[in-house]
Amino acid sequence: MNDAFEASRSNKWAIALTVMLPTFIEVMDTSVVNVSLPHIQGSLNAGVDESTWVLTSYLVSNAIIIPITGWLASVFGRKRYLIFSVVIFTLSSLFCGAAPSLEVLILCRILQGLGGGGLQPLSQAILLESFSPKEHGIAMAAFGMGVVLAPILGPVLGGWITDNWSWRWVFYINLPAGILALFLVVLFIQDPPYLRRTQFRMDTWGLFLLTVGLGCLQIVLDKGEREDWFNSHFIVVLSIAAALSLVLFVIVELNAEHPVVNLRVLRDRSFAAGTVIMFFGFFCLFGSIVLLPLYLQQLMGYTALWAGLVLGPGGFASFFIMPVVGVLLKKGVKPRYLLSIGLVATALSTWMMSGFNLEADFYTVAWPRFVQGFGMGLFFVPLAAAAYVNISREEMGNASGIFNLLRNLGGSFGVAFSTTVLSQRSQLHQTHLSEYITPFNAAFQTYFDQVCSWLQMNQPQASCPTGGLVMTYREVLRQASMLAFNDTFLLLAIATLSLLALMPLLKKSARPFGWKEGVH
């Protein structure tokens, strides 16, 4: 077993391709279906609220499986569990594409999330083991290129496939990638000798509380804004259930002899600080990634494809800067320095977005995304490398599950926060601007006269007073929405910059970064 594992490590780049191929597809599936929802809704004769469960069901099952990946790998064997995950994810993708009804599609999405949830932490753990500790920066660069680029490309690819083929092909495209990944896993992946399969011990209460807590929490985050948050009895009940379950889960796991998730790994200050920084970093990143396409489509008239193209420069900036960061880390540059530069660049980009107006051209809205992508490349890679620097190989799978769970939850919290602030600030600005719509306001009267003149020239059938007021009110809504977007971007910029205060918590490793292999 040891010889086979060491031989497999010599093929580290083949291993990187093997684990990142299914992980990229799985992460992309968290966003690729979003733009297809209207088509799914019409094809399966479903309502808007019903169709959103296609997204929620996947996120819930995904969130539940991520933190217990290390335990599942220790019980069934990492290679066996990885093969099982790829098979379930691929088959469920086939069933999703062929689903005859919404109920069947939601059930298949649950299976898809259960199969795909383990791919992220497994891939990260395998990469960290396959590359020497001195090359962990390069390993995290390979991982980061997948998990950062995939959700950005998802909406673009999903929109193009849906418009040109069918929403069902959004799922069918997973099949060739899944089959190829399965072949590569069998060929290149081996279980490490220190990861011995443990006797099956079911931490029943821990698993139950984790499932209930994360399931309820993910539903609250995904449905909260639509249900008006705590004005909804449904959201209140799920929030209480999530809070109680997760608190009890922490208590149970800290006292369990064989916990399903070993929370004691958080005693390492660097890893604990890294997970907190990762949570809030993706909180801000996903908040802005969700807001920018909405801004472009709702206010600027961009199509889904062109809105996706605005996100593209950021994805490519991350894609190209991450390998450079990996090389710099290998040469001895301290992760905290690169991480600080990344946070400043990311905060700067979001601050630039807070200055958008309705006359902005493509370059103006695309440039901040490029800066943000550059910053995220400098954020993700050194943070992951610094967080894991004191984690033993035996704990790598468990730690990776916790780390990736916090990353995903950070994104979910960020989306919920951003959409809520956007809605509230939009109402506030609408109320404020409406106060100026009065005949006694000279600026309003001048604008109203111009609108009436335009209507008489271009739409003579529209009555001037009524038509003019309608057009004026629409413009008020646009301006109020623009100001709300600016406010939300500004809050995210401040939140990103404030993460610099957590840098001192990333204490220096007991062994220098790039410690010699074999020293544990």
Q: Tell me the C-alpha to C-alpha distance, in Å, between residue 38 and each of 58, 199, 226, 337.
A: 17, 47, 16, 45
What pLDDT score was predicted for residue 360? 85
24-38, 64-78, 272-286, 392-406 — which one is most confidently predicted on average?
A: 272-286
pLDDT band at 222 (very low <50, low <70, confident <90, very high): confident
Mean pLDDT of 102-122: 87
Q: Is the pLDDT of residue 494 over 90?
A: yes
* Residue 35 DSSP class: G
- Residues with Cβ within 8 Å of residue 450, at least 6 apart in sequence: none
Q: Cα separation of 35 and 159, whole Å?
A: 6
- Which of 316, 304, 309, 341 shows the shortest CA–CA distance to 503? 341
Mean pLDDT of 86-95: 91
Q: Is the pLDDT of residue 5 over 70?
A: no
The answer to whether 271 touches 391, Cβ cutoff 8 Å, is yes
Amino acid at 116: G
* Residue 431 DSSP class: H
Q: Cα separation of 384 and 319, whole Å?
A: 16
Q: What is the DSSP string of 330-349?
A: HTT--HHHHHHHHHHHHHHH
* Residue 202 DSSP class: -
Other beta carbons less than 10 A from residue 332's beta carbon: 10
Which one has a higher pLDDT value, 512 or 316?
316
What pLDDT score was predicted for residue 507? 61
Q: Cα separation of 136 and 383, whole Å?
A: 11
146-155, 162-171, 203-212, 244-253 — which one is most confidently predicted on average?
A: 244-253
Q: Cα separation of 377 and 379, whole Å?
A: 5
- Which of 110, 148, 202 shows the shortest CA–CA distance to 31? 148
What pLDDT score was predicted for residue 95? 92
The answer to whether 371 touches 352, Cβ cutoff 8 Å, is yes
pLDDT band at 353 (very low <50, low <70, confident <90, very high): very high
67-76, 109-118, 395-404, 427-436 — which one is most confidently predicted on average?
A: 109-118
- Which of 283, 247, 291, 243 shows the shortest CA–CA distance to 409? 283
pLDDT band at 463 (very low <50, low <70, confident <90, very high): low
pLDDT band at 489 (very low <50, low <70, confident <90, very high): very high
Residue with tokens 């610099």: 500
Mean pLDDT of 398-412: 83
pLDDT band at 244 (very low <50, low <70, confident <90, very high): very high
- Percent of the chain predicted with pLDDT > 90: 10
Q: How many residues can be counted in the chain?
A: 520
64-78, 149-163, 238-252, 419-433 — which one is most confidently predicted on average?
A: 238-252
pLDDT band at 467 (very low <50, low <70, confident <90, very high): low
What pLDDT score was predicted for residue 510? 41
The answer to whether 354 touches 486, Cβ cutoff 8 Å, is yes
- Percent of the chain predicted with pLDDT > 70: 85
What pLDDT score was predicted for residue 487? 93
Q: Cα separation of 356 and 388, whole Å?
A: 38
What pLDDT score was predicted for residue 515? 40
Token pair in block for residue 402: 């916790």
Q: What is the value of pTM for the model shown?
A: 0.79
Mean pLDDT of 122-128: 81
What pLDDT score was predicted for residue 520? 37
What pLDDT score was predicted for residue 197? 54
Which one has a higher pLDDT value, 248 or 408?
248
Rg of the Cα atoms in the chain: 24
Q: Cα separation of 333 and 134, whole Å?
A: 11
* Mean pLDDT estimate for the chain: 80
The answer to whether 111 touches 8, Cβ cutoff 8 Å, is no
Min mean pLDDT across 28-37, 192-201, 386-395, 444-453 is at 192-201
What pLDDT score was predicted for residue 103? 86
Q: Cα separation of 95 and 164, whole Å?
A: 21
Mean pLDDT of 477-481: 86
**What's the pLDDT tens digit per position in 502-511?**
888 776 544 4
Q: Is the pLDDT of residue 312 over 80?
A: no
Mean pLDDT of 493-504: 89
Token pair in block for residue 273: 């600080």
Buried b (16+ CB within 10 A) or exposed e, 317-331: bbbebbbebbebbbe
pLDDT band at 44 (very low <50, low <70, confident <90, very high): confident
The answer to whether 400 touches 406, Cβ cutoff 8 Å, is no
- Which of 339, 330, 333 shows the shortest CA–CA distance to 273? 339
Min mean pLDDT across 146-155, 293-302, 474-483 is at 146-155
* Residue 101 DSSP class: S
Q: Is the pLDDT of residue 363 over 80?
A: yes
What pLDDT score was predicted for residue 465? 66
pLDDT band at 517 (very low <50, low <70, confident <90, very high): very low
* Residue 516 DSSP class: P
* Residue 264 DSSP class: G
Token pair in block for residue 515: 């410690």
Token pair in block for residue 87: 């098979």
The answer to whether 422 touches 291, Cβ cutoff 8 Å, is yes
Q: Cα separation of 79 and 67, whole Å?
A: 18
Q: Cα separation of 210 and 223, whole Å?
A: 20
Q: Tell me the C-alpha to C-alpha distance, in Å, between residue 326 and each of 185, 237, 314, 375.
A: 25, 45, 18, 14
Which one has a higher pLDDT value, 515 or 489?
489
User: Residue 496: helix, strand or coil by DSSP?
Assistant: helix
